[in-house]
Amino acid sequence: MKGLLQIPSQSELAKAYARFQDHDRISEVDYAVYSQWCRFDARLAEIWVDSLARNWGKLNPTLFRNAVGNHPWPQAAAVLFEQALTYGQLTPSDKSLLRVTANLIFHGVPQAPYQDFFIGLTPFASRSLVAASERPLKSYSKWGYFGKDVFQNKFSATAGKHLPSVLSKSIRTRALDELIRIRERLTVREYQDHLQGAVSLKVAQLDLNAHPALRAVGNTRGRFYVRKKTASGPR
């Protein structure tokens, strides 16, 4: 399958930011186009996911499916849906309905050949790229990509609001649950990296110490956490 005919320019990306920031009506066709651009720009991905979590009920699943099917990477949009489902501020009812919507839109879409979600943003063979390929988040690997970025909570900063230095407890818990599912051993630093530094050292330590599926090993300086043998990770 061919890629995009043209990589989005900085001016095009800026216009996309502005449309989301100004709360313009974003059509299914627009969401589909911007989902492809997200592979070149992490900030747009964050804005896209935030917008979807707030406006998904206004979208027509059939129109969205047709629109995204006209592009080379429908799986990219699927990753963004997964992130909205995992990290978005959704009620249990909305989350259930959004899952049904995603299933309708992406039914029959195959996994992409295993590759980095982002194109041209991560240095080849860098430590971060290797780590992402070896331990990708489920939202990426489900659709054939690898990556560790969480597209969460930064849209408010683009709208001129204060960006919290610490994510909410519910968001941190969901992120830590996912990390425990894929890792049997982790450190405070790895947990902070998983949340892209959006959690303080003290809060990260408290989260890890309090999680019922983890057991602390070692002293304070060299401490790490292992998944308890009786726990296969959060369900």
Residue 126 is predicted with a pLDDT of 73
The predicted pLDDT at position 161 comes to 36
CA 15 – CA 225 distance, rounded (Å): 44
- Taking every pair of C-alpha atoms in the chain, what is the biggest distance, in angstroms? 56
Closest CA to 73 of 25, 112, 46, 44: 112
Tokens 């930064």 sit at which residue?
A: 154
- What pLDDT score was predicted for residue 156? 42
- Give the pLDDT of residue 183: 87
Nearest to 155 by CA among 80, 15, 49, 83: 49
Which secondary structure element, helix H or strand E, spans residue 207, and what is its range?
A: helix 201-210
How high is the pLDDT of residue 24?
A: 82
Q: Phi first, then psi: what are they for 217, rounded to 5°?
A: -130, 130
Map out the domains of the chain with their CATH numbers: 10-156 (no CATH), 164-227 (1.10.10)
pLDDT recorded at residue 137:
86
pLDDT per residue of the chain (235 residues) written in tens, 0 to 9: 345 778 899 999 999 999 998 888 999 999 999 999 999 999 999 999 999 999 999 999 999 999 999 999 999 999 999 999 988 888 999 999 999 999 999 999 999 999 999 998 777 767 777 777 788 888 999 999 999 888 875 434 333 333 344 467 888 888 899 889 888 999 998 888 777 666 778 888 999 999 999 999 987 778 999 999 865 555 5
Buried-state track 165-198, b at ≥16 Cβ within 10 A, e below 16: eebeeebbebbbebbbbebeebbbebbbebbbeb
H/E element, 226: strand 224-227
